[in-house]
Amino acid sequence: MVDGIQRQYASRIESMTSFKVVDFLEAAVKMEAQGRDIVRMEAGEPAFPTAPAIIEAASAALRDEKTFYTPSLGIIELREAIAAFYGTRYGLQIPPHRIVVTTGSSAALGLICDLIINPGDGLQLTDPGYPCNANFVRRAGGEPQLIPVDAYNAYQLTPQAVAEHWRDNTVGVLVASPSNPTGEMLSRDNQRGINAVVASHNGVMIMDELYHGLVYDQCESSILEINNDAMVINSFSKYFGMTGWRLGWMVVPEDALEAVNIMAQNFYISPPSIAQYAALGAFEPATIDLMEARRAEFRQRRDYLVPALRELGFSIPHTPAGAFYIYAGIEKLSADSEAFCWDMLERAGVAFTPGTDFGEHLARQHVRFSYTQPLHRLELAVERLSKALAE
Ligand SMILES: Cc1ncc(COP(=O)(O)O)c(C=O)c1O
């Protein structure tokens, strides 16, 4: 309301869902400002500082005045560095020109949805899943086709589920592995099977590989090993811990490049220049060593937290394979995840996110814990939760 006038904004806004994690984040920040100590397990960002080689690369870029627009698809040095990373990590030869640098993978998700979705088209997504995906689909005029997934299938799609839910207007599938909010992975067999179902419908296979590098008991494989034409999104936010630098990338098939370039030119002009030069430091051996040490630390946190939460009555049918999330059932503790999360924030001083942020399927029975805080803070969270649950 401005000057007493109620403006009418575009109807697409009405169908967009809010990001509940931000409500909890804001409430936690407010309580901290009032002097309360809150263990912050709601947000999905590593609390580690930016790696020294990345800071150094950014400082050098500032000194060298690399502060101008760059090519819309990103600076070539970075596209080459990312392509080389696919060589060392996965043994894949991806030509650098197929790599598109974006303003966070969020921009990549938007570009891909705008590229493949006509008004009325459907895109298959998991429920639960990353909440913004459905809103990118809606922004493009499409219909999010949510497929319920459960613990029995490691909260992932199966080829059967994709085939059963494929409708006349479906144009593709977007899968995240490891997933947010569950940390669970899609097996290589299921990647292959889903890819075959999608190919049989001439659909588009989109894989969100954002949490690659944060996998603890197995080796992750890229969908590009199976399907060279799949669309892959990735980011410097999670494994490289660069959330605020707002830099991601995607790998697209040759025939998509021209359209993606036109959209990137128009919508963003270019990804942030300093962040791109900074990201060159992400591929320095010293940074990779540091990230691998952090990966080991995340694993240690997960291995502490999963049994500790089970002990408190949360149900975690199997240990999540990666990311830094635990998606826990609260059937024994509460009937309503939102009320439960607000109550635990207030009484225990521990912030975590209700399942209702990630979809509708069994969302009131689940919460997401993010283990981005150091181990001693997670221990404090468990101690506080234990006390509050016993009251
Ligand atoms: C599964 C998934 N995809 C995409 C994103 C977007 O991340 P960014 O824009 O920082 O790369 C996130 C952020 O949490 C995520 O969890």
Residue 2: pLDDT above 70? no
- Ligand 1 within 6 A of 102 CB? no
One-character DSSP codes across 302-345: HHHHHHHHHHHT-B-SS---BTTEEEEE-TTT-S-HHHHHHHHH
Which of 203, 181, 206 lies closest to 191, judged by CA? 206
| pLDDT for the residue numbered 60 | 98
- Ligand 1 within 6 A of 104 CB? yes
Residue 3: pLDDT above 80? no
Q: How confident is the model at residue 219 (pLDDT cuts 50, 70, 90)?
A: confident
Q: How does pLDDT run across 59-116, given as a tens digit for each residue? A: 999 999 999 999 999 999 999 999 999 999 999 999 999 999 999 999 999 999 999 9
Tell me what the mean pLDDT of segment 286-290 comes to: 98
Structural domain spans, the chain? 17-44+287-390, 52-283
Residue 21: pLDDT above 90? no
Whether the CB-CB separation of 141 and 119 falls below 8 Å is answered with: yes
- Ligand 1 centroid from CA 344, angstroms: 26
What's the whole-number average pLDDT of the chain? Answer: 96
Whole-angstrom CA distances from 63 to 59, 277, 366 are 6, 12, 48
Top mutation candidate among 112, 125, 130 for ligand 1, by most atoms within 8 Å of CB? 130
**Local structure of 147: helix, strand or coil:** strand
| pLDDT for the residue numbered 311 | 98
Top mutation candidate among 231, 237, 243, 246 for ligand 1, by most atoms within 8 Å of CB? 237
- Fold of the domain spanning 17-44+287-390: Aspartate Aminotransferase, domain 1 (3.90.1150)
- Ligand 1 within 6 A of 248 CB? yes
- Ligand 1 within 6 A of 208 CB? yes
Q: How does pLDDT run across 244-256, given as a tens digit for each residue? A: 999 999 999 999 9
| pLDDT for the residue numbered 22 | 87
Q: In ligand 1, which atom is closest to the CA atom of 246?
A: 10
Top mutation candidate among 112, 185, 235 for ligand 1, by most atoms within 8 Å of CB? 235
Q: In ligand 1, which atom is closest to the CA atom of 130?
A: 1
Burial of 293 (0-12, 13-18, 19+ CB in 10 A): exposed
- Ligand 1 centroid from CA 163, angstroms: 26
pTM: 0.95
Q: What value, to the nearest 5°, has the Cα angle with vertex 229 and ends 227 and 231?
A: 100
- Fold of the domain spanning 52-283: Aspartate Aminotransferase; domain 2 (3.40.640)
> Which residue owns the Cα nearest ligand 1 atom 13?
44
Q: How confident is the model at residue 17 (pLDDT cuts 50, 70, 90)?
A: confident
Q: Where do the DSSP E strands lie in the chain? A: 39-40, 99-102, 122-127, 143-148, 170-176, 204-208, 231-235, 248-251, 325-329, 350-351, 353-354, 366-370
Which two tokens mark 32? 């901290």
Q: Are strands 366-370 and 325-329 parallel, antiparallel or unpaired?
A: antiparallel
Residue 7: pLDDT above 60? yes
Q: How far is CA 59 from the centre of its chain?
A: 28
Whether the CB-CB separation of 17 and 134 falls below 8 Å is answered with: yes
Residues 6+ apart with CB under 8 A from 286: 51, 52, 53
Q: In ligand 1, which atom is closest to the CA atom of 103?
A: 9
- Ligand 1 within 6 A of 108 CB? no
Which two tokens mark 380? 């404090």
Residues 6+ apart with CB under 8 A from 337: 330, 354, 355, 356, 363, 364, 365, 366, 367
